[in-house]
Every structure is written in C-alpha cells, then in structure tokens.
Amino acid sequence: MLTTLALLMSLTAGAEIAAASTQDVDVELVLAVDVSGSMDLEEAQIQRAGYVDALRHPDFVNAVRDGLTGRIAISYFEWAGTVRDSSHIPWQIISGAQEADAFAALLEARPIATRRGTSISGAIAYGAKLFDENSYAGMRRVIDVSGDGPNNFGAPVLPARDAATALGIVINGLAIMIRPSAAYGSLDDYYSNCVIGGPGAFVLPVQEPEDFAIAIRRKLILEVSGAEPPARLIRAADTAVDCMIGEKLRPNYMDRLYPELDK
C-alpha cells in the first residue's frame, strides 16, 4: 500500500512539475524557409532580409504584445531537398522588441547558401515534429512555409500536409513568384490547393522583390494575431491543380514511374 501511495505521489508531483514548466503563448510559430537551388542568390538574399526586417518591425512587435498572453514561441529552419539540423534555430520566446531583435540577429548572422531539391513535404514533416520538442502551450500552432516552386523531391506533399493538419497544425504559405516558371502554372494556386491547410490557412504571393519584406511582415502579423486574412480570389483554372506537377517535371520521372516502358 505504501509503495502504491508513493508511486501515485511521485506521478502527481511529476505532472505538477511538467505543468509548471509549460508556458502559455498565443502561438507556436515555425518559419520554414526555402533555400532550394531554384532560388538564386538575389532571391535568397531578398528572402532573408525580408524575414529579418519583418521580425524587427514595430508592427510585428505590437501584434505580439496585443495578444492574450503578449508572447509567442518561434523557431526557424531552412529546407531544400532535405533539412539540415544545423539550419534550425531552436524555440525562443518573443514578447517585445529586444527579443524580436535578438531572434532576427540569429537569422541575419546565418550564411546564405542554396541546395538541391524542393521537398515541401519534408519541410512540413520536419516542422510538425518541432512542436513536440518545446515546453510551450500555444493556442495555435502554425508552420509558415515559403517557397518558389512545387514539391519535386521526397514524399508527395498532400499526405504530409494532411498528417500535419490532422494534428491541429495550420500551414500557411508564401509563394515566391519573382521569377515564375510557366512549366507548372501559377505557384500561388499550387500552394492554395496542395500546401496550405487548417482553419484560416492562407497563401500570400510575392511577385516583385520590393514587395517581399511587406508580404512577410503582413503574413507574420496575421499569424501572430490570429486575424482572418482578407478574402483572396483564386483564379478559376480549366483543370484542377496537379499536386504532383513538380515530381512529373523532374528528369526521368516517367522512366522511374514506368520502368517497363524502357524495355
């Protein structure tokens, strides 16, 4: 009896300690940033500067302070065909300008380099796991995915998106269309149909370099505040968006899919 009582007391104490170590925040936000080879150096630099400027902007800081708890938890990583753990900036609290500036400085100090492949599915899967590694309790959990092309490496994007949203994670998109490719049509339509998901999910397109910083700041403010984004009219297409278009455009895709055709 004493042994059982001691065990119950230890479990209760452990639960109380765990509860005490969990900090409430308005949102747990993961920034998943594209560094795939389709991003040239200029685009990569514009993207980095956009995130740094947005995090330091007074409007972003004020949006954080205006939340119910007045703080958010934020993390960051870069992705291409794979995700390197070395690109991950661990979870940190932002509740004011000093913390926002410190987080922006960590991004600013990172070297800029691109890598091969575009695995949006891998980025979503990696981002979803990060929520299990923190000690925060957010009213919302959001993965913010930026990218300039469709998924073309690793697992298909739809199962990864659906697995994340089934966990209550919202996925928003930033479609970088500064140098659009006609090969797969409109990237914002692709993101709307194949990448984003969850309650209130949205995608913002960026078509001009000078709009990048404004779009990122607007996106972060919407994610932090939880406000509904303005209605976005999606152009009606003659055919449904093909969520495997990136994979199909890869060299030798058909040969890998139907090897018997080579015989």
Domains observed in the chain? 22-229+239-262 (3.40.50.410)
The DSSP code for 82 is S
Rounded average pLDDT over 218-240: 68
Q: Quote the pLDDT of residue 208.
A: 85
53, 217 contact by CB (below 8 A): yes
Assigned token pair, 119:
């695995």
Q: Is there a contact between 149 and 186 (Cβ–Cβ < 8 Å)? A: no
Task: Output the pTM of the full model.
Answer: 0.84
By three-state DSSP, how is residue 134 classified?
coil
- Exposure string of 175-195, with b = 16+ CB inside 10 Å and e = fewer, is bbbbebeeebbbbbbbbbbbb
User: Mean per-residue pLDDT for 187-208?
Assistant: 92
Q: How far is CA 143 from CA 43, 183, 201, 231, 242, in A?
A: 21, 27, 10, 20, 22
**Stretch 41-45: mean pLDDT, rounded?**
83
Residue 5: pLDDT band (50, 70, 90) is very low
Residue 171 φ/ψ, nearest 5 degrees: -115, 120
What average pLDDT score do residues 220-233 get?
75
pLDDT tens digits, residue range 59-107? 999 999 999 999 999 999 999 999 999 999 999 999 999 999 999 999 9
In this prediction, residue 185 carries a pLDDT of 63
Q: Which pLDDT score is estimated for 37?
A: 81
pLDDT at 11 over 80: no
Please say whether the dihedral angle defined by the alpha carbons of residues 120, 122, 128 and 130, taken in this order, is positive or negative.
negative
pLDDT at 181: 57
Binned at pLDDT 50, 70 and 90, residue 21 comes out as: low
Q: Where are the alpha helices (DSSP H) in the chain?
A: 2-21, 41-56, 58-65, 97-109, 120-130, 157-166, 187-190, 212-225, 245-248, 253-257
As a whole number, the mean pLDDT across the chain is: 83
Q: ∠ CA 43-235-253 to the nearest 5 degrees?
A: 60
Residues in the chain: 263
Give residue 140's pLDDT. 95
Per-residue pLDDT of 155-173, as tens digits, reads 999 999 999 999 999 999 9
Residue 229 confidence (pLDDT) above 80? no
Q: What is the 3-state secondary structure (H, E, C) of 192-206?
A: HHHHCECCCCCEEEE
Q: Nearest-CA neighbor of 191 among 50, 32, 69?
A: 32
116-152 pLDDT, tens per residue? 889 999 999 999 999 998 999 999 999 999 998 899 9
